[in-house]
Amino acid sequence: MALDARLRDFLAEDIGHVDLTATLMVDEASIGQFEMRAREPMTIAGLAVAARVFSLYDARIEIERLAVDGQTVSEGITLMRLQGPARSLLTAERTALNLIQHLSGIATLTAQYVERIAGTGAQLVDTRKTTPGLRALEKHAVACGGGRNHRLGLDSGVMLKDNHIAVCGGIAEAVARARSRVPVLTRIEVECDRLDQVEEALAAGADMIMLDNMAVETMRSAVELVSGRVPLEASGGVRLETIRAIAETGVDFISVGRITQSAPAVDIGLDDVVDVPPPREA
């Protein structure tokens, strides 16, 4: 599996040739029991990925998942129980925690944005502002937080931005060129930062229009102008403090790069439960 190969790379990056501390300090026969616990309220994402890190490193580790991705939990909740060779548990711990803390941070921030626009009809979507190598996992985390995915990659749709439009000589020319070549089930979105461009994109037959860095009043005018003929996406500099006003203009989607690019990691720890004696020799 592609994900397994990536997780093995993450482990190799952290371990190097050997975990010196665990090898020197922990007896090879020692068995450990640990619980992965939420140390603050959060929305979970990446629990299965964290579990997979442990099982890939040492198949002898027994894992019990006590939560699911997309679940919102309070401080102190146990997310996972693990038992197995103590050396292996301690060696794989940081890689597993790094991933689940990062992904749950994205899910938690996403859920906060989604809550701010509840009842407006607007939907939160992510962007391509993701960590190289982690896009699929980060976009999964957005979905866990209640957001929706925009393009998964450049092959997922046609988005005509200002530079594409400039190279083609204008919005009408750019849309016509894209329409003549695009797969029939693929939509064409046009980025606009002025109302006259919105009119031009409509006339050219765009399937969707992005309102880029527009003032709220201008967005409201764009919504009235388009009158439901194509979906509208608001984008650019959206924050928790501003997203409600943007949603109330009547746009269909609001894209936010911050939920993947700037989400803080949440606090999740791996706590020793009890010292388990090594098995006795027969």
Dist CA 281 CA 196 (whole Å): 82
Is there a single domain that holds both residue 145 and residue 57?
no
Q: How many domains does the chain have?
A: 2
Active site residues: 94, 129, 161, 191, 212
Is there a single domain that holds both residue 127 and residue 86?
no
Q: What is the pLDDT of residues 123-153, one digit of tens each?
A: 999 999 999 999 999 999 999 999 999 999 9
Is there a single domain that holds both residue 139 and residue 185?
yes
Q: What is the pLDDT of residues 223-243, one digit of tens each?
A: 999 999 999 999 999 999 999
SS3 69: coil
Is there a single domain that holds both residue 79 and residue 29?
yes
| Owning domain of residue 99 | 2-108+264-276
Is there a single domain that holds both residue 128 and residue 255?
yes
Residue 37 covered by a domain: yes
Residue 13 covered by a domain: yes
Is there a single domain that holds both residue 193 and residue 90?
no
Is there a single domain that holds both residue 131 and residue 212?
yes
Q: Global pTM?
A: 0.93
Is there a single domain that holds both residue 91 and residue 141?
no
SS3 143: helix
SS3 33: strand
Is there a single domain that holds both residue 126 and residue 24?
no
Dist CA 54 CA 164 (whole Å): 45
Residue 156 covered by a domain: yes
Is there a single domain that holds both residue 170 and residue 69?
no
Residue 274 has a pLDDT of 65
Is there a single domain that holds both residue 126 and residue 98?
no
